[in-house]
Amino acid sequence: MPKRFSPKYLLLIRHAHRDKNADGDGDNGLSEKGKNQAAALTAHILEKYPGKKFLIQSSPARRCVETVKPIALSLKLRIRKNKLLAEEGESRSDFLMRIAQFRKWCEEKAPPSILACSHGDWIPQFLRETTGLSTELKKGALAEIQLTERTWFLRQIWSPIAGAPSIN
């Protein structure tokens, strides 16, 4: 008898607005606007998915980690940095291979609920390859994706409201 497949849910988040004035190596964190977007995102997730335990993964980039940190703190979960979620910085074929590896991991090994934060180049490519849709996310937005068997469905897209209040 074939193994029964349980649906999986992936909340795919584009990092919030980054601090473009920060010094350093370009791995800058969030601006005030980005912190407000991350707070609005956290409030949305806590309201829409109460009690849900996600495996939280993030691109190693500081702006991605800072975007999901309030979520992780609120849910008392840890953030796992995943290089597969990093923005494109290598050959196009290697970039596409990383996306395919993340997809395969989601399909074969991931737990039922995943929350992953990535970049504006990574997310549209992943959505094209999984759902067939050509969609970009605004900074701080999320796409809720469901995987049933080997079929991916984009269930909804949520974006933070401009100027949303910060949660303290």
pLDDT reported for residue 123: 97
Output the pLDDT for position 22: 64
Report pTM: 0.90
pLDDT, one tens digit per residue, over 52-71 is 899 999 999 999 999 999 99
| HEC-encoded secondary structure of 7-66 | CEEEEEEECCCECCCCCCCCCCCECHHHHHHHHHHHHHHHHHCCCCCCEEEECCCHHHHH
Domains of the chain listed by start with CATH number:
8-111+119-158 (3.40.50.1240)
Which backbone phi and psi does 153 adopt, to 5 degrees? -125, 130
Q: Which residues contact 27 (CB under 8 A, 6 or more apart)?
A: 61, 62, 63
pLDDT average per 10 residues of sequence, the chain (168 residues) = 75 95 76 96 95 95 97 97 96 97 95 97 96 93 92 94 42
- Residue 94: CB atoms within 10 A of its CB come to 10
Q: Hey, how many other C-beta atoms are within 10 angstroms of the C-beta on 71?
A: 25
Note the pLDDT of residue 107: 93
Interior angle at CA 53, CA 49 and CA 55, nearest 5: 115
